[in-house]
Every structure is written in C-alpha cells, then in structure tokens.
Amino acid sequence: MAAVNEARAAHPDKRITLWFQDEARIGQKGRVCHRWWRRGERPPGLCDRRYTWVHLFAAVRPASGARFALVMPVVSTEAMNVFLAEFSKRLAADEHAVMGLDQAGWHGSNDLVVPSNVTLMPLPPYSPELNPVERLWLYLRERHLSHRLLDDYDAIVDACCHAWNQLTPQRISSLCNYPYIQQVSG
C-alpha cells in the first residue's frame, strides 16, 4: 500500500486513516438469496418486474468501523464529486484519508475533483475481493434488502437508509477488517 506511505510523507502533520469506498445499485429488482425451505419444494418469494433503483455510495474505515454514505440517483463523475466533497467535510481537521476504491470510470475521470484531505488509492482491476465494502453489500442485501417489494423511488431510498443505519461499528469491523488492512493500519 504505497499510497498510505506516500500520504504519510506528503502530510507529516496529519493523522492518516485508511478508508474504502464503493457503490451499490439497489432497487425494485430484488436479489435472490438463500432461504431455508422444505426439500423438494420451491419456496415462495416476491418478484418485482419494475426497474427503479438508486445507488448507495459508501465509505468505511475498517479499523474503527466508521462509515459514511449517500444515496444518489445515478453513478457519474458529478455524483462522485458530491460524495467526495461531503465525505471530506466530515473528516477531522488533523485527518487525511487514503481511500481505496475500484477503477470505475467515474473514479478516474479528468473531471473528478479530489479534496485536499483525501488521497484516492485505486485497487487492482478485477479484484472486488480486495474491497471490504463488497462484504457490506452482501450483508445488507441478505439481511435487510431481499424478499421485499418496494413501491417507488422514495421507498427504495428509505429502505437503503434504514438498512445502512442498522450497521454498527462492530459489525463493520467484523465484516471489513481484513488482515492485510490491519497490517497497513497498524
């Protein structure tokens, strides 16, 4: 994690924190997940054929369980700019965040405005297993967002907010604090 060392060298007066960021699309087309049921029978389930969704932008700090999220209508460079600006405002004055993220097009756009207290650290391509936020999406979908019919856009936003607010710092740390992150953060 050369980006962490570079951030330490570039900002010796700041406390360097390691965050990870990702986006998830959540909507009326629910995700199929496992369900216990009688052998030989298909379990009943809800099916929605509508196509309304939102995107949950999230950043977590696995070492402490800190979190930040915004529900956005689209994924784009503009949405990422809003997310980074709001995230940046919530950092402490003595903090500089190194944010690991995938290499989606809007993460590396020339129009992306990265705040001065944030350094972006692209993760290797085609390696979602390195981004611990992916485990949060799985947890939220299986525990809070599956087997539901959501009436409209506002209901989807409410469901996303409710699911996100169910996360505790302990749950985030237990799901996201991979051994390699502990080595870098230590």
Give mean pLDDT, residues 34-45.
71
Give pTM, 2 decimals: 0.85
Residue 21's nearest CA partner among 105, 131, 170 is 131
Q: How would residue 45 be classed by pLDDT, with cut points 50, 70 and 90?
A: low
Q: How would residue 1 be classed by pLDDT, with cut points 50, 70 and 90?
A: low
**pLDDT tens digits, one per residue of 95-137:** 999 999 998 888 888 999 999 999 999 999 888 888 999 999 9
